[in-house]
A and B are shown apart, each in its own frame.
Chain A
Amino acid sequence: MKKPSAGQFAITLVSLILGLMLAAQFKNVQKVGGNVSRQRTQELIEHINKLEQDNEILKNQIEEYEDIISSYENASKDETLINELIKTKSIAGLLPMEGPGVVITVDNLYINTWDGEQQTVQNVYYDDLLRLINELNAAGAEAVAINNERVISTTEIRNAGDYIVINTNRHSVPFEIKAIGNPENLEAALKLLGGVVENISQILDIKIRTESKITVPGYEGTINFKFAQPIQEKKS
């Protein structure tokens, strides 16, 4: 072999740089894990973060359910505790209920315009429903649901665009309000002279029928208390 020329020296130098690049690339591939584009990596990271959050929530739920199960296990020995649980759930509106009551349907009232087209007088507004429910509660309704959304203490009824949101679900006409209670009392309360129905029936199509047996579903969502804490009163 002849003496290294300037050219060979240059090749050596360049090879050195190439080696450095190779090593850097090698380390990078080891770190990132191969042929994964950066965008994809970011997507996956976001995905993982979201799943981890979901996991956390689900874990909390599992704990809750485990508490419930253990409470059942404890209660199973004790008849009064089971009854107490059913009673509490009934009050909270978590159990489906059945009994006599009234069914009210609320729909748009249509009139014919001068050119023969049908037009609604007025859309159902959230306070129409609220007033009906208010009246029903005042008359002693024990379980109320609108379009099978059980009305509980946290239930909202509000307009959102073309819909009315009840228990965070969107609903539109026709609305069917089911109320369990004394049918005659409920009907009478609604049909009072100058009462709710008389007012509303001028702008909406509203029908009331009494039934001997209706079913009202339980509340299906989850109720989380983040801020409210029950106050335990100590018995002295």
Chain B
Amino acid sequence: MWLPIIGIFLGIILGLILPWQIPTNYASYMSIAVLAALDSVFGGIRASLEGKFQTDIFISGFFGNAFLAAGLAYIGDRLDVPIYLAAIFAFGNRLFQNFAELRRHFLAYLRRRLDDNDEK
């Protein structure tokens, strides 16, 4: 449970220290990719809490969604169709759903702990 959070912080720190820069042209696609990646990670945490976690699905989902979202946004820009709105909607929606599920799991976990303490 704690490993992903440690991973994120490590990544942020590394990213801020390393002098990498995304070209400004691709910044908008990067933002969509970040959203897709966030959604994948939350989905992964949720799946692991539900005991349905499968590594291959998670990894492929993470990279697949990120590239698909960025690629669709790029194509949309070329065709002047705001596809990125669809990506924002879809991933944003799922992000909140995943978070809701996580909250429920967390509260259920807390409740069980309290019950255990009462019994002792």
1/0 contact trace for B5-45 toward A, CB 8 Å?
11111111111100011101101101101100110110011
Is the contact region of chain A dominated by helix, strand, or loop, or is it mixed?
A: helix
**CB of B23, distance to nearest CB on chain A (Å):** 9
| Inter-chain contact B12/A23, CB cutoff 8 Å | yes
A1-B1, A7-B48, A8-B3 known; A14 vs B34 contact (CB < 8 Å): no
| Inter-chain contact B3/A20, CB cutoff 8 Å | no
Which single member of A18, A25, A26, A27 contacts B8 (CB below 8 Å)? A18
Which single member of A8, A25, A31 contacts B34 (CB below 8 Å)? A25
Which single member of A19, A21, A24 contacts B21 (CB below 8 Å)? A24
For the complex, is B53 an interface residue (Cβ under 8 Å from A)? yes
For the complex, is A15 an interface residue (Cβ under 8 Å from B)? yes
For the complex, is B58 an interface residue (Cβ under 8 Å from A)? yes
For the complex, is B91 an interface residue (Cβ under 8 Å from A)? no
Inter-chain CA distance A16–B37, complex, in Å, is 11
For the complex, is B59 an interface residue (Cβ under 8 Å from A)? yes
Chain B residues lying within 8 Å of A20, measured Cβ to Cβ, are 11-12, 14-15, 20
Is the contact region of chain B dominated by helix, strand, or loop, or is it mixed?
A: helix
Chain B residues lying within 8 Å of A18, measured Cβ to Cβ, are 7-8, 11, 34, 37-38, 41
For the complex, is A11 an interface residue (Cβ under 8 Å from B)? yes
For the complex, is A55 an interface residue (Cβ under 8 Å from B)? no
Question: Which of A1, A4, A21, A27: most chain B CB closer than 10 A?
Answer: A21
For the complex, is A6 an interface residue (Cβ under 8 Å from B)? yes
**CB of B68, distance to nearest CB on chain A (Å):** 15
1/0 contact trace for A139-168 toward B, CB 8 Å?
000000000000000000000000000000
Count of residues in B whose CB is under 8 Å from the partner chain: 41
| Inter-chain contact A24/B8, CB cutoff 8 Å | no
For the complex, is A12 an interface residue (Cβ under 8 Å from B)? yes
| Inter-chain contact A11/B30, CB cutoff 8 Å | no
Chain B residues lying within 8 Å of A19, measured Cβ to Cβ, are 7-15
For the complex, is A57 an interface residue (Cβ under 8 Å from B)? no
| Inter-chain contact B27/A16, CB cutoff 8 Å | no
Chain A residues lying within 8 Å of B76, measured Cβ to Cβ, are none
Q: Which residues in chain A, 13-42, are within 8 Å of chain B measured between CB atoms?
A: 13-29, 31-32, 37-38, 41
Which single member of B13, B24, B25, B55 contacts A10 (CB below 8 Å)? B55
A4-B3, A14-B40, A32-B27 known; A21 vs B59 contact (CB < 8 Å): no
The 10 A-B pairs with the shortest beta carbon distances in the complex, nearest first, are: A19-B11, A23-B15, A15-B7, A12-B7, A15-B4, A12-B3, A16-B11, A19-B12, A20-B15, A19-B8
A-B contact pairs, 7 of them (CB 8 A): A1-B1, A17-B11, A23-B12, A23-B16, A27-B15, A28-B27, A41-B24
- A7-B54, A16-B8 are known; give 10 further A-B pairs, CB within 8 A: A11-B45, A15-B8, A16-B14, A18-B7, A18-B11, A22-B8, A28-B27, A31-B21, A31-B24, A32-B27
